[in-house]
Structure 1
Amino acid sequence: MQQNKQLSIFWLFRYLQPVKGRLAILLSMLLSSTALQLINPQIVKQFIDTADAKGVVSGLLSLAGLYLVVAVCNQLLTVAVSYLGNDVAWRATNRLRADLLQHCLRLDMRFHNLKTPGEMIERVDGDVTNMSNFFSMFIVQIIGSFVLLAGILGYMFVTNWPIAVVMTLFTGISIGVMVYVRDLGVNATQAERQAKAALLGLIEERIAGIEDVQANGGVPYVMNRFHRAMRSLFLTGRKAWMLRVVPWNATVVLFTIAVTVVLMLGVYLYLKGQVTLGTLFLFYQYTQMLNDPIEQLGNQVQEFQKAKSGMRRSREILSMQSEIMEGEGDTIPAGALSVEFEQVSFSYNKDSRVLHNISFSLKPGERLGLIGRTGSGKTSISRLLLRMYNTDSGVIRVGGVDIRTLKLEALYRRVGMVTQDVQLFDGTLRDNLTLFYSGVSDQDILATTEKLGLRSWIDELPNGLDTHLSAGGGSLSAGEAQLFALTRVFLTKPSLVILDEPSSRLDAATEAALQGAVDQLMEQCTAIVIAHRLSTLERVDKIMVLGQGRILEFGERGALAQEPSSHFAQLLRTDRQEELA
């Protein structure tokens, strides 16, 4: 247990280390502010005693002016401390956000298949925001509170030890209670964050599928799930809040007792003539001031419980390891790449195997047409080539190199893939086509888009390549998005390209016009084309027919087309009959 706490502290200070200079400035400002808070009651005490003794008016005015100056300086310092505290917190936690996002982006697809975008937003931003709220006031309120407590109690022991003992007992018991119950609401708060993540995931999921929800009358069902998720969040949130406020309620009771005892002792001492009226006020004022840091400590215990649940969830994510272990190699032969699958088997889960002992090879520059029914394993082959998943067994080589020995960056630099779904990012058209890589010239972009038929669309845009696009892809038609994806991949000049249903969103005329451009762009690379339309495969060299994760047929396209009994020939005949019909 102690070791885990030490690890948590070490993990926390790892993110505070880069802002240690600001922390030092913050601490010095905090000490100055605390000193001013202790001085002002002394000025008021002197003012009361001077007035009670019928002192000169000029002296009273001087004390009033000094009080005003100290109060203004203290207020300015308070604002500066709050600003710097929030600055430190955001700098530290933004580094944590960046680490979380980068780590999540490097995790394998199995992880991302289990996490909704809504849940990931809550993990990367929501949990860290709770930590930021705690960090921003941790030094200001925790350290400041202890410094103020030490100053008040130290002075009181010098002035009047019986009252100081009462204050010390109140302080010690209050802090003891808060330490004892500091983790009381952590688990409940963690459950609250999980309930909120589930709610955000539900909202994101249903908004993304709004067309299906509306078209199929699913609104009542969605609202039912929404209300259940909201109820779960309410119940977990209420429980977490009730547990988090226990320290604050305890300090309120203790403070009431402490104020009562201090006032009774103070009045007794004043009536006995042992203290002045100003000193009696000072006792009361310092007791009130004593409650402020205690209350702040209680509030921070609540924030600590939120922050600790966020730390747990963040460390849980950072401790996850991707199934995809990068190799050390970064060298692949130049030019078009050969492809080899050797006895490759794969499954998304242990109960259902998707690919069974797949073996085939492509020479550099060859084009493979991959066909088969839905669920036959076509897309799985492309995902394995890009190492989105690990194989269960077997070896995959590109350019004669086992892809497991390569760095992922080296693999992605040479292998490109056009998927059916196109993701647009918030940025210019140029940034979206090059994925924010500045090494591609405008001439290359325009030349590629000219070949693929996007140039006329770009010319019609108000600012050409500088036109701003919104995230999500709503500003593109389905056909434009398909052409967009082709452009994006071919701008990288891949040595191996995978086209996953490249014409699924294109009409027959556009596909025919585009085919020549795609052929031209693929002259210098090996290609694997996954298609349902057989017209897309007219210029491939080889055909592979998959069925239930097995190779039913593999060979030269021409030879398979001329063999009446082949699967491919049967598919061609069926396709012609459908066209005639």
Structure 2
Amino acid sequence: MNNMRPGEPGERVAPAHPGKTVKRMFRYLSQSRGLIIWMLVLLALSTILELFIPDLIGRAIDTLNISEWQLTVNWNSLLLILGVLLLLFIFSSLFKYLQGRLAAKLTRTTIVTIRKDVSSKLVRLPVSFFDTHQNGDILARLTNDIENVSNLISQAIAALLSSVIVIVGCIVIMLIKSPILTAVCMSTVVLNILVTVILSKKMFGFFRKQQKAVGKMNSHVEQSISNKRTIDAYNLDDECIEECDALSDELTDVSVKAQVLGGAMPPLMCLIGNLNFLLIVAVGALLFIRGGFGITIGTIQAFTLYSREFTQPINELSSVFSQFMTALASAERIFQIIDTPPEIDEGDLDIVPGSSCSITFEHVTFSYIRGVKVLDDFSLTIEKGQKVALVGKTGVGKTTLISLLMRFYEPDSGRILIDGVDIKTIPKSRLRGMITAVLQSTAVIDGTVRENIAYARFTATEEEIKNAARVSCAEPFIERLENGYDTHVQGEESKLSQGERQLLCLARSSLTSPSVLILDEALSSVDSATEQKIQDALLSMMEEQTCIIIAHRLSTVKNADKIAVFSDGRIVEIGDHKELLRQQGVYYSLYKNQYIGVQ
């Protein structure tokens, strides 16, 4: 199986393309056109009102006149200008507040849509996706990456829209007041853009690496917590710490490089802005002294303010650029999940399952990794109602066969038939509804014992739940629990032993009344006495159903109608328990190794 993990060497990552990611983000935003339009209106009103402030301040200064060392003030004009400035400040602040409220609503609406798209895609992805992606990395995309995108929408988008309006407005007003000073102000813009472009290209690469490093770190932490008993049992604390330190160093390295580049942007922009301010004052003073250019002290003051207004949006964008790059890298990782092809289901045949089904594997070949066959021209027929056991050494393809039957994977060649019908023609929901699989890796959900048993059939009555527990031999340990069937268990963190968890899952499976029951090492963690009781109960309960049993403990399969012995992806022996012992072949060797002297 391909065990490559995201972010590891050799991983095939979609090319970094900020432009495409931004366009895709705007497609999500466009679903809330009404909010965006009102945001733009309020943002435009607020920004336009602020654009008049430097000009009014310049006019206020020009109401002051010094003649023969005496100051005169045009109080009527000054008071009028100050009154207008006060109104501008009030209304601009009000519009900004309303715009902020709408931005928060836009953020919430868009993030909910993205989260729904990711969640709905995850449940439709094939099992192979989860086999080749670490849980921690997937969780990082659903939490950390979505949070970064949320910050982008709530802050960076508003800053971008505001900056466009301010830049355009400043250029228009400055051109009207003085084309010469406007040219001086614009002289540093090229330098501004050049610095931004160079740094942004380098930053985006580092921020993509940073987000992948975060996913790897999350995966390590998640595995360290879930495997704590194993780590302690094998005294692997030091190795675990060393791996964590290595991942932490990797994350720190790329984060520092990204933050250094991001942190260099604001001071560079500030330096360029101060240079711009110096040029405006120098040239403006020269024009004022020479006269004839319509330049006043107020005009120079207004231009210094407009130069700040003009460069401030660029500086603001540069200051949030690290956040912007992080969010784009996060959005790209989220879209990788959304763009992953979903599980294919070409089935359209409305098959009506009976109480049991015949199953036929016709020349099935399958490989997880190309060229390495797990099943090689495999054929087997299981008649209706038969109890067939699959045995063999670890890794010979027994569990793979079940994955193919339930269409978690598709065979490279060959066919699988149920009652003579190719399973590719049966909708996966219907196919999997006909089959119940009890696996060695038990799944206990966060809820009560009662809810866990009824998980496969929520409409089950109290009597059916208790009967299922009784049949699976789970009733004794449930009654010993503090609150019986109302005891709360928390998934992987439950206090139940592995054997008790298996009994709980067996009780769950007995509620579904499937046409095919699969027991994949389902009794591996229970004692022999309990195993025999469960077998007797299951054989009685599944008397008419087809049953496939996978087990290493051969006492589990002795009573099967047929035992198929696997080796190198094929069946090398087949027959019942006594027949296979008489052949003294592979099965006999396995049995002899487990039960020396037992005939």
Bigger shift: residues 91-100 or 22-31: 91-100
**Number of residue pairs matched by the alignment:** 574
Q: Where does residue 515 of structure 2 map in the other structure?
A: 495
* Residues 1:386 and 1:152: Cα distance change in structure 2 (over 3 Å): same
* TM-superposed deviation, 1:167: 2.6
Structure-to-structure mapping, 1:491-570, within 5 angstroms? 491-557=511-577, 559-560=579-580, 563=582, 565=584, 568=587
* Residues 1:360 and 1:295: Cα distance change in structure 2 (over 3 Å): same
Equivalent of residue 11 in structure 1, options 24, 37, 60: 24
Kindly indicate whether residue 108 of structure 2 is the aligned counterpart of residue 95 of structure 1. no
Q: Where does residue 114 of structure 1 map in the other structure?
A: 132
Q: Is the 8 A contact 2:18 2:328 kept in 1?
A: no
Structure 1 unaligned residues grouped into runs of 5+ = none
Q: Is the 8 A contact 2:258 2:322 kept in 1?
A: no
Q: Is the 8 A contact 1:43 1:67 kept in 2?
A: yes
Equivalent of residue 49 in structure 2, options 9, 12, 36: 36
Kindly indicate whether residue 45 of structure 2 is the aligned counterpart of residue 25 of structure 1. no
Let me know the Cα RMSD of the aligned residues.
Answer: 3.5
- How far apart, in 2, do the equivalents of 1:314 and 1:124 lie? 8
Structure-to-structure mapping, 1:273-312, within 5 angstroms? 278-312=298-332
* Residues 1:399 and 1:19: Cα distance change in structure 2 (over 3 Å): farther
Bigger shift: residues 195-204 or 62-71: 62-71
- How far apart, in 2, do the equivalents of 1:257 and 1:246 lie? 17
* AA in 2 matched with 1:228: A
* Residues 1:5 and 1:578: Cα distance change in structure 2 (over 3 Å): same
* Residues 1:47 and 1:517: Cα distance change in structure 2 (over 3 Å): farther
- How far apart, in 1, do the equivalents of 2:340 and 2:183 lie? 51
Q: Is the 8 A contact 2:560 2:577 kept in 1?
A: yes
SS of the residue aligned with 1:240? Answer: helix
Equivalent of residue 420 in structure 2, options 391, 400, 421: 400
Q: Where does residue 212 of structure 2 map in the other structure?
A: 194
- How far apart, in 2, do the equivalents of 1:103 and 1:220 lie? 38
Q: Where does residue 3 of structure 2 map in the other structure?
A: none
- How far apart, in 2, do the equivalents of 1:411 and 1:352 lie? 28
Q: Is the 8 A contact 2:22 2:328 kept in 1?
A: no
* AA in 1 matched with 2:251: L
* Residues 1:152 and 1:468: Cα distance change in structure 2 (over 3 Å): farther
Equivalent of residue 331 in structure 1, options 350, 374, 381: 350
Q: Where does residue 84 of structure 1 map in the other structure?
A: 102
* TM-superposed deviation, 1:205: 2.5
Map Cα deviations across residues 129-161 of structure 1 (whole Å, 9 max, x no partner).
Answer: 433333333431111101011222222222222
Map Cα deviations across residues 263-316 of structure 1 (whole Å, 9 max, x no partner).
Answer: 224445566785555544433322222222111232354444334433444444
Equivalent of residue 340 in structure 1, options 360, 368, 373: 360
Kindly indicate whether residue 157 of structure 2 is the aligned counterpart of residue 144 of structure 1. no
- How far apart, in 2, do the equivalents of 1:344 and 1:77 lie? 68
Equivalent of residue 212 in structure 1, options 230, 244, 249: 230
Q: Where does residue 441 of structure 2 map in the other structure?
A: 421
* Residues 1:173 and 1:447: Cα distance change in structure 2 (over 3 Å): same
Kindly indicate whether residue 375 of structure 2 is the aligned counterpart of residue 355 of structure 1. yes
SS of the residue aligned with 2:465? Answer: helix
* TM-superposed deviation, 1:207: 2.7
- How far apart, in 2, do the equivalents of 1:443 and 1:58 lie? 89
Map Cα deviations across residues 424-453 of structure 1 (whole Å, 9 max, x no partner).
Answer: 344555554454875545554344234334
* Residues 1:34 and 1:554: Cα distance change in structure 2 (over 3 Å): same
Q: Is the 8 A contact 1:431 1:437 kept in 2?
A: no
- How far apart, in 2, do the equivalents of 1:48 and 1:578 lie? 110
Bigger shift: residues 225-234 or 39-48: 39-48
- How far apart, in 1, do the equivalents of 2:553 and 2:208 lie? 50
Q: Where does residue 482 of structure 1 map in the other structure?
A: 502
* AA in 1 matched with 2:278: T
SS of the residue aligned with 2:202? Answer: coil
* AA in 2 matched with 1:77: F
* Residues 1:385 and 1:299: Cα distance change in structure 2 (over 3 Å): same
- How far apart, in 2, do the equivalents of 1:66 and 1:457 lie? 80
Bigger shift: residues 249-258 or 210-219: 249-258
Q: Where does residue 228 of structure 1 map in the other structure?
A: 246
- How far apart, in 2, do the equivalents of 1:432 and 1:560 lie? 39
SS of the residue aligned with 1:553? Answer: strand
**TM-score, length basis structure 2:** 0.84
* TM-superposed deviation, 1:578: 7.3
* TM-superposed deviation, 1:554: 1.6
- How far apart, in 1, do the equivalents of 2:151 and 2:372 lie? 46
* AA in 1 matched with 2:240: V
* TM-superposed deviation, 1:417: 0.9
- How far apart, in 1, do the equivalents of 2:447 and 2:35 lie? 34
- How far apart, in 2, do the equivalents of 1:466 and 1:159 lie? 79
- How far apart, in 1, do the equivalents of 2:97 and 2:453 lie? 46
- How far apart, in 1, do the equivalents of 2:29 and 2:476 lie? 52
* TM-superposed deviation, 1:341: 1.1
- How far apart, in 2, do the equivalents of 1:259 and 1:488 lie? 75
Map Cα deviations across residues 473-530 of structure 1 (whole Å, 9 max, x no partner).
Answer: 4243222211222233333332112111121111233333333443344245311111
Q: Is the 8 A contact 2:353 2:434 kept in 1?
A: no
Bigger shift: residues 210-219 or 32-41: 32-41
- How far apart, in 2, do the equivalents of 1:343 and 1:509 lie? 39
* TM-superposed deviation, 1:339: 0.9
Q: What percent of counterpart residues are identical?
A: 28
* Residues 1:556 and 1:217: Cα distance change in structure 2 (over 3 Å): closer
* AA in 1 matched with 2:230: D
Structure 2 unaligned residues grouped into runs of 5+ = 1-16, 66-71
Q: Is the 8 A contact 1:425 1:469 kept in 2?
A: yes
* Residues 1:156 and 1:115: Cα distance change in structure 2 (over 3 Å): same
Map Cα deviations across residues 95-138 of structure 1 (whole Å, 9 max, x no partner).
Answer: 33443444444444444333211222234443444333333334
- How far apart, in 2, do the equivalents of 1:462 and 1:47 lie? 80
Q: Is the 8 A contact 1:346 1:356 kept in 2?
A: yes
Q: Is the 8 A contact 1:89 1:135 kept in 2?
A: yes
Bigger shift: residues 123-132 or 337-346: 123-132
Structure-to-structure mapping, 1:238-317, within 5 angstroms? 238-244=256-262, 247-268=265-286, 278-317=298-337
